[in-house]
Amino acid sequence: MIKFPNDFIWGTATSAYQIEGAHDANGKGPSIWDSFCTIPNRIKNNENGNIAIDHYHKYKEDVALLKSQGFKAYRFSISWARIMPEGKGKVNEEGIQFYSNLIDELLKNDIVPWVTLYHWDLPLALEMENDGWLKPDIVDVFEEYAKLCFERFGDRVKNWITINEPWVVAILGYGQGVFAPGRVSNTEPYLAAHHLILAHAKAVKLYKTSFKHQKGFIGITNNCDWREPFTDKPADIEAAERALLFFLGWFADPIYFGDYPQVMKDRLGDRLPKFTDEEKELIKNSSDFFGLNHYTTMYAAEDDHSGKKSSVYGNGGISEDQDVILSQDKNWPLTAFNWAVVPWGCYNLLEWISKRYHNPDIYITENGFACNDKLENGEVNDLERLDYYRQYLEACNKAIKDGINLKGYFAWSLFDNFEWASGFSVRFGINYIDYKTLKRIPKASALWFKKIITNKGW
């Protein structure tokens, strides 16, 4: 029987723009995603999160669903533009009240809130007037926003995540242009990432000094796919390691060691910003835990410049900077996003993190399966998703038994929702959403989670 520790944290997760809707209600300002979705052909079917699943008005119903399914923790993000419409300056008290009510509702139902300060929805004014994450003043602006959140919610919130997946912000937002704000560059991702890291660290320092009486803990969540060497040749082994360092080490190395990986410095030269000695001290050890979002695995091979290209989209960074070719095994099952289902890759990544960063406490803050669920006779039997969760949690269980400090797991996502550039075309949720009526319908995976949370395993 698969059993997890008694104190293992079971949760599920969402983000503000993907579920809240009410995009201009009660004083909320526009975010870069509100703007990006108005550009034709950026989002599948030209959809947007204006209504999403209307969590803003249905949060009590959603918390009741959470409780009924046995979850003990809920990770959600705050829409910066909902509480500070211009990103700085004037505070929108109605936005503050919404999150205060949500937090109270969670606590009333014995669900612990895990709050993410930034899940990609930068207030549009900061992008238009200050170039968003490209200018150094964003660091101080983020600190002020974090301070407001600590002041207003920190008496009840004890689990904070500063930034969700800064890699996505940097690469997809400022490199490939497929996510908001939609910029394309081979230099801006490294600059945006630099400021994201500093903003995280400065918010943490503020929390650890001015708000230490709140007795909470705070960290950052990074995303990473496992990179398995394509062969046992030294060149492919080095390529896989290099790919991980350009993906996860890019953000985790500064936070645990105080600086970027040496391989990035060597390859990027002046395109990689430099931390001052003071900044290195600021960022080093600036996370109480290792937040990890993980979904899939790819093979990594040395690019010998013979003209062969990666057979899968994306490679964890700017491809020409890494000299890595990625591929998938044709026998691996695929999700609706064409992400391969490779549970042993999850174990390998946890092991790599544990070894490289000296066995930190790890929380998997996202893990899930996208598919095209269909409602049949009022039910969704998402057996593929169930199989995915079973296999990945078995890998997690093995990691714990082998001494890796994995402390919690958050399933992505609580609901089907607006899936960024893919709109509403794919479904990640353990609860089905009828997008016409916005009715919530539990899937088989939600019912399974209730059983394993109750039994602490299966």
Separation of CA 424 from chain center: 18
Q: Are 156 and 113 in contact (CB under 8 A)?
A: yes
Tabulate helix, strand, coil % of the chain (nearest 5).
45, 15, 40
On whether the CB atoms of residues 315 and 171 are closer than 8 A, the answer is: no
The answer to whether the annotation marks 18 as part of a ligand binding site is yes
Quote the CA–CA distance of 442 and 430 in Å, as a whole number: 7
Identity of the amino acid at 364: I
294 is in an annotated binding site: no
| Strands 290-293 and 297-302, bridge-based pairing | unpaired
Residues serving a catalytic function are 165, 366
- If you search the block for the tokens 């544990």, which residue do you land on? 354
- Token pair 């591929």: residue: 327
**Which two tokens mark 166?**
């800064």
Q: Quick one: how far is CA 106 from the chain centroid?
A: 21
- CA distances (Å), origin 361, targets 100, 290, 377: 28, 6, 43
Strands, E assignment, 124-247: 159-164, 217-223, 226-229
Spatial separation of the C-alpha atoms in residues 79 and 76, rounded to whole Å: 10
Question: Is 435 known as a binding-site position?
Answer: no
Structure tokens at 40: 């034709």
> Which residues pair with residue 297 across a beta bridge?
226
419 is in an annotated binding site: yes
Q: Are 418 and 17 in contact (CB under 8 A)?
A: yes
Is 412 annotated among the ligand-binding residues? yes
Q: Which residues contact 87 (CB under 8 A, 6 or more apart)?
A: 29, 80, 81, 122, 123, 125, 126, 141, 145
Give the residue numbers of the binding site: 18, 119, 164, 295, 412, 419-420
Residue list, annotated binding site for substrate? 18, 119, 164, 295, 412, 419-420
